[in-house]
Amino acid sequence: MVRSLGSSLVVGLAVLLSACGGDEKTARDHRPVVLVGFDGMEWRVAAPLIRAGRMPHLKALIERGSAGYLYTEKPALSPVCWTSIATGMRKGEHGIENFLDPTGNPYTSSQRRTKALWNIASDYGLQTLCVGWWVTWPAEEIAGFMVAPYSTAGQNAFNWKGSVRKDLPDQTWPRALFDELVPIVEDVRASDRLKTVASSYFAIPASIPLGDAEKKLVAQTLWSVEADEIYLRVVQAMQRREGVKPDLTMAYFGCTDVVSHRFWRYMEPGAFKYAIPAEHVAEFKDAIAKSYEQADRILGEVLAGAPADANVIVCSDHGFHAEFLDQPHPEGLSGHHLDGPPGIVVMAGPDVAPGFGKDAILEGRGSIEDAGFIYDVAPVVLTLLGVPTGRDMQSYDGGPLAKRMLQKALREASRGYNVRSHDEGFRKAATSGPRVDASVVEDANRALQQLGYLGIDPGDTDERTRPPTKKPVVDPPKDPAAGQNDPKGKNEKE
């Protein structure tokens, strides 16, 4: 049984809200914003599932809102893209340039050079609930609540996604919140609980004997099944807490990316030039679709606890496609995204202009529309929160996304509502992040073994060093002035 927030936590939050907000920075009247991120979600997978009734919660948002492609960075690396989504900045400005920094350790929040949405919201006295977002460890002191995952360099060898570790400091803000979340982690990791969740992705036990290669793919995926369920349960617990009424909710879930990396060849076997055993195709052909169904379940549960008048944004950092077509990847990967295929964006709510792009997705009529860029998300969120945008942001006016998806009245009311920069007075970025004890890596490996029935070393799937060999076919943006992956023609040489 998780106890409710103690009075000291609530009082501490009120003091911090006052200190961060002050009299000089006050947000305009606004409604709550819920931003949900699904790593690697792709319209070519999602749209048919929506039309088949298998993603009812995302469908309901599209029916009353707008949707389209969200263009991204190239190469599309998750820590870079999700930091760009949270800051409105390119990697050269926010400073998170890869998975590992030059010292060989994962980038940390202390190395980010620009403010993120949770910092800016705090400056304007707004409460944020942020759970699972990339590169948020150590959790920052904000006006609100943060649960920051961590992915160790050792754990990255088999799965880049982070999770909540029981023996790692500074994973929450306020710090005292961590002890209250441990029972959630322990409950999710109970073997029966995990097997129930995992059975939504795979047949457990498998209906056919699996070789070591297939066992590794499942083992690596179950790590993220666990992490996503922890993040969901944390969000739900915080939504029920006294004193938690966030102006901004941000939650990240990664399993659609993990499953797509590992099971694309079973979903689309005809794209590959080598033979894929028919029994393996039969076993895993629906793995990606099931991960999308679970993402939709997660979305529905997050929205069930959100305010009814919230403006909702669902997005991914990139899309996906078949990869390593000529011969099997050494570790079984068969999907990738480094060449920057566009992701998805869906918006719905009182301040969202409905109708954009929905016919192609809901009815299959015409091509899916280009909605905007990952750099547009942060200024759009700030506009919805009644906070000025920063003129140093890549798309400080919200770019194509604001033009296509925000109500005209809100756009007009916010025209010229900006500041030179939100980063003035921000702490100096560290050149390297804090190091963690080796026991954290050991704990990660122990947790993986608790995922149950496989009992196999997940192995090494270092996705950094294996670039894609074939680019996908994607429609370019329809804005003549906007280049793919580069809204202002400022692409750095990669």
301: buried, middle or exposed (CB in 10 Å: 19+, 13-18, 0-12)? middle
Give the start-end residues of each E strand in 111-190.
Answer: 128-131, 144-147, 172-173
In this prediction the pTM is: 0.88
Give me the pLDDT at residue 286, please.
97
Helix (H, G, I), strand (E, B) or coil at 277: coil
Q: For residue 353, give Cα distances in angstroms to 142, 309, 356, 383, 458.
A: 31, 15, 8, 14, 45
Give me the pLDDT at residue 62, please.
98
Give the length of the chain.
494
Give me the pLDDT at residue 160, please.
61
CA–CA distance, 10 with 431 (Å, rounded to integer): 34
Give me the pLDDT at residue 438, please.
60
Give me the pLDDT at residue 307, please.
97
* Phi, psi (deg, nearest 5) at residue 14: -60, -40
Helices 78-87 and 374-384, axial angle in degrees (round to 10): 30
Give me the pLDDT at residue 325, please.
97
Give me the pLDDT at residue 154, please.
52
Copy the structure tokens of residue 89.
């900045």
Domain positions in the chain:
29-465
CA–CA distance, 69 with 357 (Å, rounded to integer): 9
Residue-by-residue pLDDT tens, the chain, 494 positions: 333 444 444 434 443 444 444 447 999 999 999 999 999 999 999 999 999 999 999 999 999 999 999 999 999 999 999 999 999 999 999 999 988 888 888 899 999 999 999 999 999 999 999 999 999 999 999 999 999 998 765 554 455 677 887 778 899 999 999 999 999 988 988 867 778 888 999 988 889 998 888 988 888 888 889 899 999 999 999 999 998 999 999 999 999 999 999 999 999 999 999 999 999 999 999 999 999 999 999 999 999 999 999 999 999 999 999 999 999 998 789 999 999 999 999 999 999 999 999 999 999 999 999 999 999 999 999 999 999 999 999 999 999 999 999 999 999 999 999 999 999 999 999 998 887 766 555 554 554 444 332 343 434 333 333 333 333 333 334 443 333 344 333 333 22
Give me the pLDDT at residue 437, please.
60
User: In this structure, what DSSP letter does residue 71 have?
Assistant: E
Per residue in 46-70, pLDDT (tens digit) is: 999 999 999 999 999 999 999 999 9
CA–CA distance, 37 with 445 (Å, rounded to integer): 26
Give me the pLDDT at residue 440, please.
57
CA–CA distance, 44 with 235 (Å, rounded to integer): 29
Give me the pLDDT at residue 100, please.
83
CA–CA distance, 189 with 443 (Å, rounded to integer): 13
CB 62 within 8 A of CB 308: no
Nearest CA to 82 among 61, 109, 55, 43?
A: 109
Helix and strand element counts for the chain (H, E): 17, 13
Instruction: Classify domain 29-465 by CATH number.
Output: 3.40.720.10
Q: For residue 226, give Cα distances in angstroms to 203, 407, 414.
A: 16, 38, 41
Residue with tokens 């939650």: 251
Rg (the chain; Cα; Å): 21
